[in-house]
Amino acid sequence: MEYLIHIAILISIYAILGLSLNLILGYTGLLSVTHAAFYGVGAYATAILSTRFHIEFFTSVIIGMIAAAILSLAIGLILSKFDGDYYALASFGFNVIVFSIFLNWESVTRGPLGIPGIARPAFLGLDFSSLFIFLLLALVALGLVYVLSHFIVHSSLGRVLKAIREDEGAIQVFGYRTFDYKLLIFVIAAMMAALAGSLFAAYITFIDPSTFTLNESIFIVALVILGGLANLRGSILGAAFLILLPEVLRFIGFPSDIAAQMRQVIYGVLLIVCMLYRPQGLVGEYKL
């Protein structure tokens, strides 16, 4: 039972990441591969504030989200000047820069040694060291992010974002400052990613830079595309699929000396098949 709860918590965290990136990638049409950086900012904010300053979890979440907002504002001011492939390449570079800071600023982040002993949340007598209680917390966070995302995509802001995705030049003719809209959604998505990072840090109780590499950003992009671009339920479905698939493959009786490799091969083949026959994702409404 604990194993299933563990998987459900990971799905909830990655679903938050998927929902937030879908606002940028699916609804605005901007291929950002820097999401793991904001995920890491939230995780490190909670880790550092918990272990060094003994600040409780919910306060550290707010501080982490503010830090992610400031960082994303600085990055977004630059990224919003680019389009298409150049946007993706620039975001690639920023993810590498932030990862390098996590790795090399040892006086703050402890570098490759990571930060252990991160405290689990405590609130109104609830014991979040219990996996089930922590799952409820993760589900509440996921629900709030989903409701906010649903509100955004069905508001006038969401309609502008879709128009930017379809033809940015056309909407600029009507006087819309698309730069401002792209920057706003980038900051909102970064704050959501920081929330996921705080949850991850408090759940695992240990973080190091290896969790927030470019590969992690690519994984988040993959779950959004696989689940479905411009579909919020698709982000949750994509997170569930990519978290559950490797776990299911563990129960296939491969010989022990090639089990790990075969799981990766099957994992990759299934993803390729999905992209060939369902390029818009499982429930997607838009194709890159």
87-135 confidence digits (pLDDT tens): 999 999 999 999 999 999 999 999 999 999 998 888 777 778 889 999 9
Q: Looking at the domain assignment, is residue 218 inside a domain?
A: no
pLDDT in tens, 136-156: 999 999 999 999 999 999 999
Q: How many Å apart are CA 277 and CA 107, to the nearest integer? A: 49
Average pLDDT over every residue of 159-167: 93
Q: Looking at the domain assignment, is residue 143 inside a domain?
A: yes
Number of domains composing the chain: 1
pLDDT in tens, 208-267: 999 999 989 988 998 998 898 999 999 999 999 889 887 887 777 667 677 667 766 776
Structural domain harbouring 97? 2-213
Q: Looking at the domain assignment, is residue 264 inside a domain?
A: no
pLDDT at position 282: 81
Q: Looking at the domain assignment, is residue 12 inside a domain?
A: yes
Q: Looking at the domain assignment, is residue 145 inside a domain?
A: yes
User: Which H or E run includes 206?
Assistant: strand 206-207
Q: Looking at the domain assignment, is residue 58 inside a domain?
A: yes
- DSSP letter for 89, please: H
Q: Looking at the domain assignment, is residue 259 inside a domain?
A: no
Q: How many Å apart are CA 8 and CA 244, to the nearest integer? A: 9
Q: Looking at the domain assignment, is residue 151 inside a domain?
A: yes
